Each structure stands twice: as structure tokens, then as C-alpha cells.
Structure 1
């Protein structure tokens, strides 16, 4: 019952609004965090992220960070896996441990009355993971099963082939969960190395939201983080991306093909980011009102859904899209995407499209702030992206400040039809002239 109460508090602690007041907190031990106080409910959400993530896998050890993170709840300090789970349940805490290409993320939610005990339990997972042999065998088996499943999933096959073609030898170019061979060969020493490389103070960002003051958070940070490694592994170089404007077909027996397309993007700190964000939404976002949805689905019925978006990784930027289509419709759908990409580069957007995009983006923004956990995650993301502490209050003004001239100038910059690269998996009709990948 207590766990259900905690989940309810996580969802309801703050209403959906973007007028949050953020404080910068520095503990006596020098640990920094951003905090939003909300004392209406006895609940705290804590988000901790470490820059680097699975990109810090050592050579030949792909999957080590993923396996290590999956073991953080499988015993820590004096508690084995069962003991840790029972302590977690008794406190009604909720912990989440996950790794991605650029970060290792830890989420914690706990009741005010159990804060000290919950922090002590989390500290044991962060500072004293056990990596017991039986837990390693069990979790490794789960990851190997997932890897085998990916080998028969066309979406996963496409994603791995795309990353390999675009990013080459960079860590982004391989699946961060590793391969069966690499995961099978990992030792306990490899897991300890992955832990020391990734969960270090020089890579860390913290956000907290809920029933806690700045002074209390400062004490919590020192209690929680004091035993973590000081310095992590060396972060990778920027990725060199290969967008040649070509088309690759991966043969796969299925009645419906999947296509991914894209080219390079631009950095979040680029002065043209907000105009680029708006025109990218006109093309690939805005729900059913985006151009791709209108042209590919609504007018022609070639897919159930299609989208495209600007994104930024720590070491690369891109503008990607994806959709599925019946085999006999795929060639036509690809042609429509190419035409719309070229039209956007040449003509830009209309005043009506600009206004619709502004309304959509400014109206949907407060909906992101729909609970303590989401806000804590946003606080960490802002810090990792180098955004100012008042960004939430000024973001919609930056969207509304974009003019039509700005949008169309930037559309010509970011839409590059000659570099638009496609990869398709399936048995699509009419693509016999495509490059073939087996």
C-alpha cells in the first residue's frame, strides 16, 4: 500500500505548470544541485545523472556499463539482492537505474518520514554495489536474452545498422547493450571498472523537487555522495557522421517495411536553435498537422504515422525521421518525403504554419511539468545542456520571438535535400535501384 501512495504522490505533487522557482544549492562538501521546494505533500523526487553513460564502455567491453547499471539494485553493502528489495519495499521507496549513450541516470522517490533511511539505502547502492556472482549470472542471462530478441526485431536491426553506417567507429556506432560475445565475456573486474568510470563526481548533475529545504538538501547530498569516485573515465571525442544522400535496403521478410531518414542537425547553443526547432516541428511534429503527416498519411494513406525531429547528443547533432509502410507503398512514401524536404528548403513555411507551431509549442510546454519526478529530470537536463537557471521562465518568450524571416532563413540552412540519407528494412516494392545491404 505504501508503494502505491508513493506513486500517487509522484504523479500529483505538482500541477502541470511551468512557473517553478529553482534554487541553486551547494553543500559543505561542494556538491551542487538545483532544487524546487514543494511542501504541500510529504514526498521528494531526486534525479542524479552522470555524463558519459555507455559511451564510456572500455574497448572490447561493450555492454559493461549496461550490465553494471542493471546490477545496482541487486545487492549493496550488507544486503544481498533479496535483502535490498525487502528494504526498498519496507520503506516504500522507488529507485530507478538506467544508462543511455550519454548519461547514467538514477531516479529516487521517497516519503519525507523515510528520507534518512531511504537515502542510506540509496547510498549503499551508489557507493557499495556488491556485484555478487549469482546476481551477475542472473542479470547477464536477462541481457543476453534481450540481445537475442533484438536479432529478430526489424526495428532494432534497422537502428543498429543505421548507427553503424552513420557513426562508424565512434561509441555511438554500436549498440550500447553490447553483443552476445562481449556481454558473455564480461568479468566482475570489468563491472568495477565500468562503475568507477561512470559514477564519478566530476560527471555528476543533481535535481531535487518536493518536501525538502535547501539546507536539508545540502546535508542529504553530503550524506549520499561523499564516497563516490572523484574522477571518471575519459569522455569520447565528437562523432564524425556520414550522410551521403544515399539509400540502403536491408532485406527482411515482412509485409511492412520500416524507413529511417535524416542528416546532420545543429547544436542546442546555436543562435538559430529556436527558429530551427519551430520549422522542424512544422515538418515532422505538431501531431496530425505536421507536413509529413499531412502529405504522407492524411492525403495519401501511405503510413499510420511519421515524424521527424532535431536532436542533440553530447558528441553529435542530427535531424532524423522514421515511419513504417506496406511494402507496396514504401517507394511512393519515400518520394513524398524527398519532395517535402526539398520544398521546405526552397520555400520555407507560411505565416499560418509559424503561428500554429508557436501555439503548439508554448501551449504544450507546461504539460512537461506534471509531477515532481518529471521536474527533477528537467532540472538535471537543463544543467547538462548548460541552460541558465531561469530558462523555464524565458523559454516560451524565445519561441514567440521567432519571426517568419528567421524561420525561413533557417529552414534553408537546416534542410539539406542532397544529404538526406535513407535506410529501409523489409521487402519494399520498387526499390530495386537501392544499395543492397545484407
Structure 2
């Protein structure tokens, strides 16, 4: 009961008041061992939230052992140093410490949230997990079994089938084409030695980005950083990843699966985050299908015709590639109708771009929504880490509104053609009536 109450208290603290997006002060600090980080001091609640990232996610996996990074991440809190899995978890629970690890194609992201009274313990436990993970045989097999169960379910899940087919076709023979979770063939091949090798190569101080938000000063934050990260090697051993562009544009691939709904994944060339046209593309994408109720795709597919519960697309960028990617799910007998509307609206956006009224409304929404999204310490820490990874500068939050306002209707129309004028790769999983695969492999 005490542990549950402590965890509940931490959750409530995380929702407490945080500095507004435009008022927050970001400090660049350096730990005693020389590790840099960004810090936002927030003294209204006695907690610390940290977000960090290591360069080198699932793209570092060997092709025949895809899923290695993901399995390693799932096992980091399953025992470290002289603490076995049960003891490690008990230490976390007794002190209401929240640790999280998540693997993407380019990065392993980590989070830590703790009350001030337990922060030394929290950072020490994280340091053990990163520098001395155990990867005990029983824990490896238990977590591997859980992953295999998920992968078996995904063999009949239309969302997974459509998504995996899209990435495999868009990035053939490239690490981005593999699912970070791995496959039923590759996950059983992963050994404890592979997991230790991933940690050795990836968890290094030269590939580390850190953001901290909380009731802590710069000197104390620096000492906490060293508790967690100073024991890591100074340099990692990451293999280079080749630059890639999505392939298969103009193709439609139907993956047969006996389910009542069909899932559609669609997308094409995107914009790299440092592209001068990125902000214009971000606004245009929001107008077409950025997830709000006012987007063209939502209005045409759901509101006017009731063909799907939701439909959206987003700009997705990596260190070596960028795509625009969207999706929807609809009845098998109406899939062709929904896809036709998506393709028609996408082409219309590419041909003529947005209207001035749509551009003004999108600018207003995107400015307001961003400020509202920074409503907790952990969200601010996550955003600061992403800003660092994207090399946007410490003043990006203050500059962002001006960058949005600077986009003209001419910019938006030009970039709309760039984003949506070249066609799409479409994958469909299900039994879509009247739809078949088309196009040829490039």
C-alpha cells in the first residue's frame, strides 16, 4: 500500500505546474566528469525528471539478429550489478522510481522520474542498469518469450502487416526497413553475448544527449548525471548507416489477411529536419492530415463519408532518411473508396497547395497546441532532448512561433508540390474488395 501511494504521489507531482513554454529558462550544464546536459529548474514540486538518448537504436542490429536493441532495452531493469531482477524491481518500487527504455531506429530513449528524496537511489539504479546489466538466462528467456508471443500475434494483425510491408518495401536491404521488434526468425537467434555487445557499442558518453527538469540546481544535477553515466566508456563503436530514400513510390501492395477491416499505410518522400522547407512542410502536412479534426483527410474520409474512424499522416525523420507516412483502417468493402479519396486529396494538395484560410488556421493551431503539449516536467524534458538531437538550438522554443509565422502561402504551395507531387507507396492488409497489388518493384 505504501509503495502504491508513493507511486500515486509521484504521478500527481508530474502533473503539477511547470514553467510556460516561453517563460522557461534552459541552462547548459556540464557534470564534473564532463558530460553536457540541458537543465530547466522547476522548484514548485520536489521531483526530478530526466530524458536522455543514446545514438544507435535498432539500426545497429545485425540483419540476422534484428530485435537485439529492443530485447536489450526490455531487459535493462531485469537485474544489474549484484541485484537480481526481483531485488532491482523491489528497489524501484520501494522508492517510487519510474524508469523507462524505448528503442527506435536511430536511438535508445530513456526516462527517469523520481521524488527528490530518492534521487540518489534513482540515478544509482539507472547507472547500474546502463553500465552493468546482467542479462541473466532466466530473465532473457522470459522476456524473449513475451516478445515472441507479441510477434506471433502480429502475424495476423493487419496494422502490423501493413506497416511492416511498407517499411520493408520503402527501405529494402537497409536497417530502416527492418522492424525494431525483430521477427519470429531473428529474435530466437539473439544471445546474451549479443545483448552485452550492443550495450558495449552503444552506451557511451560521446553518443549521449540529456535533459533534466526539476527541483535541482546545476551543481546537484551534474553530480546526479555522473551517478548515472560517468561509468560508461567515453566513446562508442557504432557502425555507419547509409543515407536512404524511400523506394516503391507508385506501388500498391495488398497483403491478404482474413479480417473484417482493412488497414492502409501510405507515404512517400519527406523532409529532413534541417531542410529549410521543413516548417512549411510541417504546416502543409497538418492541413492535409496532421491528426486534427480540421484536416482535409479527416473531413473527407470520416466526416463527409464515414469511411473510417480516423485517418492521418505525419512527417517522420531519421538521421539518414525522411518520409511522410499516414494510415487508416476501414471496412473491407469500402477500402477502395477510402483509398481513392486519400489519393485524390493528396494529389490535390500537391497540385494546388492549401488556401490562405487553411494556412492561417493551421498556424494558429500549431502554435497553441505546442505550448499546451509542454504541460509536465517529463514532456518538457522529452522535448528538450528532441531539440538537442535535431540541433535546433537552445532558443528554439522561443523562436518557433516566428518560424511558423514566416511561412507564406507561396512557400506552402511550393513545398506542398514537393511533398505530395511525386506519388505514394501504399500497402493494404486485409481483404479489400476491388483492390489488388499494382505497380512494379524499382
TM-score bin (small chain)? over 0.9
Deviation at 1:320, TM superposition (A): 1.4
- What is the aligned partner in structure 2 of residue 285 from structure 1? 290
Match of 2:262 among 253, 257, 266: 257
Indicate conservation of the 8 Å contact 1:243/1:264, yes or no: no
Partners of 1:46 and 1:239 in 2: CA distance: 32
The alignment status of 1:200 with 2:200, answered yes or no, reads no
Q: SS at 1:267's partner residue?
A: coil
Aligned positions of 1:14-413 closer than 5 A: 14=18, 17-232=21-236, 233-285=238-290, 287-413=292-418
**Contact (CA 8 Å) 2:367, 2:401: kept in 1 or not?**
yes
Matched, 1:427 2:431: yes
Shift of 1:247: 1.3
User: Which has the larger displacement, 401-410 or 378-387?
Assistant: 401-410
Q: Following the alignment from structure 1 to structure 2, what is the Cα–Cα distance between the partners of residues 156 and 356?
A: 34
TM-score scaled by structure 2? 0.95
Contact 1:55-1:235 within 8 A present in 2 as well: no
The alpha-carbon deviation at position 239 of structure 1 amounts to 2.2
Aligned Cα root-mean-square deviation (Å): 1.7
The separation in 2 between residues aligned to 1:133 and 1:226, in whole angstroms, is 27
Once the two structures are overlaid, the 10-residue window that deviates more, 426-435 or 185-194, is 426-435
CA distance in structure 2 between the aligned counterparts of 1:272 and 1:370, rounded to whole angstroms:
28
Using the alignment, how far apart are the partners of 2:439 and 2:427 within structure 1?
9
Quote the offset at 1:430 in angstroms: 1.7
Give the whole-Å Cα distance in 2 for the aligned partners of 1:247 and 1:179: 23
Alpha-carbon distance, 1:181 to partner: 2.8
The 3-state SS of whatever aligns with 2:170 is: helix
- Give the Cα–Cα distance (whole angstroms) in 2 for the partners of residues 433 and 321 of structure 1: 18
Deviation at 1:194, TM superposition (A): 1.1
Matches of 2:320 and 2:350, distance apart in 1: 26
Contact 2:31-2:223 at 8 Å conserved across structures: yes
Contact 1:71/1:136 (8 A) holds in 2: yes
CA contact (8 A) 1:13 1:210 kept: no
Q: Give secondary structure in 2 for the equivalent of 1:289.
A: coil
Structure 1 distance, partners of 2:439, 2:63, is: 31
For 2:178 and 2:291, how far apart are their aligned partners in 1?
A: 31
Q: Deviations over 1:137-180 (max 9, x none)?
A: 21111111111111121111111111111100111111112122
Structure 1 Cα separation of the partners of residues 306 and 424 of structure 2: 23
CA distance in 1, matches of 2:224, 2:437: 61
Q: What's the secondary structure of 1:197's corresponding residue?
A: helix
TM-score (norm 1): 0.96
Distance in 1, matches of 2:130 and 2:291, equals: 40
Number of matched pairs: 436
- CA separation in 2, counterparts of 1:433 and 1:313? 28
Instruction: Name the SS of the counterpart of 1:12 in structure 2.
Output: coil
C-alpha offsets along residues 60-80 of structure 1, whole Å, 9 cap, x if unaligned? 221111111111111111111
Deviation of 1:362 after TM superposition, in Å, equals: 0.7
5+ residue gaps, structure 2: none
